[in-house]
Amino acid sequence: MSRIGKKPVELINGVSASVSGQTIEVKGPKGTRSFTATDDVTLTIDEGSIKVTPRGTSKRARQQWGMARSMVENLVTGVTAGFKKELEIQGVGYRAAMNGNILKLSLGYSHEVNFAVPDGVTVTSPKNTEIIVEGIDQQLVGQVAANIREWRKPEPYKGKGIRYKGEFVFRKEGKKK
């Protein structure tokens, strides 16, 4: 039995949900999100909570049970609190600045990197060494943060690059004479 799947997802005040077939749509103060579950699970709404139950005892049904419940919980979290990833830039001359819908990154290349921010995500740069990615879709927020980090991953010798806030970068010792 799935320990995650057994728990119902509570609907917080200001959040409404509707199920039509295998698709659930959740509306909240930050927006609307929907998720289509596989045919291996059943979605039901009763008394201010959403329940996910498997339709059989097959391995696939049990796998989809916990995953579908987690996806529904992410919908509710996204439309109420939203998701946020914080990046920090370390390195001499490395900086970031927002210019309209384009994030301009100076990362030691011969040119500036212009990163176009996709719809559904808000990117801000409160300091020139910080980038904050926010949105209601957890997957999209994480993907945008990963795409920004991909331009200059932290290197192990000096630690220069773009890293997640609080990320530990294993440092290596340089050459010895």
The answer to the question of residue 175 being in a domain is no
Q: How crowded is residue 137: how many other Cβ atoms within 10 Å of its Cβ? A: 18
In Å, how far from its chain's centre is CA 27? 18
pLDDT at 147 exceeding the cut of 90: yes
The answer to the question of residue 173 being in a domain is no
Question: What's the predicted TM-score (pTM) here?
Answer: 0.85
Residue bearing tokens 């949105």? 135
What pLDDT was estimated at residue 2? 66
Domain co-membership, 10 together with 63: yes
The enclosing domain of 141 has a CATH number of: 3.90.930.12
Distance CA 159, CA 171 (A): 7
Domain co-membership, 73 together with 99: no
The answer to the question of residue 174 being in a domain is no
The answer to the question of residue 121 being in a domain is yes
Closest C-alpha to 51, from 24, 80, 78, 83:
24
Length of the chain measured in residues: 177
Per the structure, the count of domains in the chain is: 2
Q: Which residues pair with 10 in a beta bridge?
A: 49
Q: In terms of residue numbers, what domain contains 156?
A: 83-164
In Å, how far from its chain's centre is CA 114? 22
Per residue in 51-72, pLDDT (tens digit) is 989 988 889 988 889 899 999 9
